[in-house]
Amino acid sequence: MNFAIKIISQKFVLFVLQVTGSSKVNEEMMAAVRFTNPFTHNLEEVYIRMEGPGVMLPKTKYYALIPGGSSLTCTEMFTPQRAGRTRVFATLDCSGLRQVSGQASINIEA
């Protein structure tokens, strides 16, 4: 029998979620995720998802390939529908890298 094992060491993953805009109900805001692939190999079939209760419906973007060492920025526009403190969440998922997430707290004014 032949077996092949690929060992991947734990790497620091740069995954930053930033929310900008007026922070008011019914006024457009932007959520941006910055991600850098920490590996020398490519990541394939990558999904980035963003959502926020009361402010952003779930939105998903698909990337067929993120080359090793490269960076990307994923942006989504949204319009908050309610006032108060809440959070926007973002996750990255692919077979080569799991459990990558970020969140940003925001205070929406009426």
* Position 100 in a domain: yes
Question: Does residue 75 fall inside a structural domain?
Answer: yes
Residue 88 belongs to domain with CATH number: 2.60.40.10
Q: How many distinct structural domains can be found in the chain?
A: 1
Any domain includes 9: no
The whole-number average pLDDT for the span 52-65 is: 96
1 falls within a domain: no
Q: What is the pLDDT of residues 36-57, one digit of tens each?
A: 999 999 999 999 999 999 899 9
Q: What is the mean pLDDT of residues 10-31?
A: 89
Q: Give me the mean pLDDT over the 83-101 stretch.
A: 94
Q: How many CA atoms lie within 13 A of 88 on its CB side?
A: 28
Mean pLDDT computed over 6-19 = 73
The answer to the question of residue 90 being in a domain is yes
Owning domain of residue 70: 14-108
In the predicted model, is pLDDT for residue 11 greater than 70? no
